[in-house]
Amino acid sequence: MRLILLGPPGAGKGTQAQRLVKKYGIVQLSTGDMLRAAVAAGTPIGQRAKDIMARGELVPDDVVVAIVADRVDQSDAKKGFILDGFPRTVPQAVALERMLSAKGLKLDAVIELKVDADILHQRIANRVAEATANGRPLRPDDNPDILRTRIEAYREQTAPLVDYYRLEGALKSVDGMASIEEVAAAIGDLLEGAPKKPQRNKAAAKAPASKHKAVSSRGAGRQEAAAPPRRPRRHRQVTP
Ligand code: AMP
């Protein structure tokens, strides 16, 4: 299985990717992790990326495309992978498509985690607090000023990928405001084509109502734009 997880910083891509790794026995390919490792190791790529990442901007397309091309060729990625944080621009998406088709591979789905922009700062603040409490090293770009730049970069350069993949017929959107468990279940349903059922638990009932409903495009390869309007399905019912 080959998947892309799409969503702004703090949407929960890393958390959901780890669940998918366990569930499907595939690898998580996080370009952010790869770049941080390159920075820590002081490789030429790391030296090129270091200051850009510290500012919260995007590393040039050619750099990330090259590291992903290397990584998908490694043996542990043969069974499948989840791309977390890649592609982040339309040229990266085009390069990925070319790269995969040259290898005779194709994507199974692009999963968008939809979250309200105003909670992203809170989620990153929680991530920092959790890392501090557990003695884990902090990410230098997990601070309010840099986060603003990262969210801006997402809005301007990455969000257009939602339409790009919708037109490709590969996009599946999930309500990323739901609990971790509910999001994981919704993703599982989408991937396995299970019928949707309303989901509700105590945490969700207490959570603020989301503007987004979890919806599925179903049927990768179809031109969604040409499809008749579809009633969005609920994954959960939220009591305000
Ligand atoms: P992440 O861990 O995905 O939040 O990525 C951390 C940082 O790495 C980003 O803010 C970018 O500077 C850089 N980065 C990660 N993935 C990409 C990508 N696909 N394209 C460009 N820059 C990236």
Rounded distance from Cα 18 to ligand 1 centre (Å)? 18
Query: Does pLDDT of 209 surpass 90?
Result: no
CA 68 to ligand 1: nearest atom? 19
Of 48, 55, 123, 139, which one is the catalytic site residue?
139
Q: Any idea which residue has 């339409």 for tokens?
A: 163
pLDDT of residue 6: 97
Q: Whose CA is nearest to atom 14 of ligand 1?
A: 32
pLDDT of residue 195: 58
Going across the sheet that includes 109-114, the strands are 27-30, 81-84, 2-6, 109-114, 171-175
pLDDT tens digit string along 35-78? 999 999 999 999 999 999 999 999 999 999 999 999 999 999 99
User: Would you say residue 109 lies in a domain?
Assistant: yes
The candidate with the shortest Cα–Cα distance to 34, out of 8, 91, 80, 72, is 72
What mean pLDDT comes out for the span 224-232? 39
Query: Does pLDDT of 231 surpass 60?
Result: no
Range of the domain at 155: 2-115+150-192
Rounded distance from Cα 88 to ligand 1 centre (Å)? 8
Q: Hey, is 170 helix, strand or coil?
A: coil
User: Would you say residue 206 lies in a domain?
Assistant: no
User: Can you tell me the distance from the alpha carbon of 72 to that of 33, in angstroms, rounded to the nearest whole number?
Assistant: 15
What mean pLDDT comes out for the span 19-40? 95
Please confirm, yes or no, whether 127 is among the known catalytic residues. Answer: yes
User: Would you say residue 201 lies in a domain?
Assistant: no
What mean pLDDT comes out for the span 187-200? 72
Q: Whose CA is nearest to atom 2 of ligand 1?
A: 32
User: Would you say residue 215 lies in a domain?
Assistant: no
User: Can you tell me the distance from the alpha carbon of 201 to that of 237, in angstroms, rounded to the nearest whole number?
Assistant: 9
Q: Whose CA is nearest to atom 6 of ligand 1?
A: 32
User: Would you say residue 11 lies in a domain?
Assistant: yes
What mean pLDDT comes out for the span 177-201? 80
User: Would you say residue 232 lies in a domain?
Assistant: no
**Half-sphere exposure of 56 toward its Cβ, with a 13 Å CA cutoff?**
18
| Residue to substitute in 88, 123, 142, 147 for testing ligand 1 pocket (most ligand atoms within 8 angstroms of CB) | 88
pLDDT of residue 203: 47
Query: Does pLDDT of 223 surpass 80?
Result: no
Please report, for residues 29, 44, 88, 223, the alpha-carbon distance to residue 40 in angstroms, rounded to integers and kept in the order given. 18, 11, 22, 43
Rounded distance from Cα 153 to ligand 1 centre (Å)? 10
Q: Residue 130: enclosing H or E segment and its boundaries?
A: helix 120-133
User: Would you say residue 233 lies in a domain?
Assistant: no
Total tally of structural domains belonging to the chain: 1
User: Can you tell me the distance from the alpha carbon of 217 to that of 46, in angstroms, rounded to the nearest whole number?
Assistant: 38
Most confident of 51-65, 134-148, 195-209: 51-65
The CATH number for 91's domain is 3.40.50.300
Which pTM value belongs to this model?
A: 0.80
User: Would you say residue 184 lies in a domain?
Assistant: yes
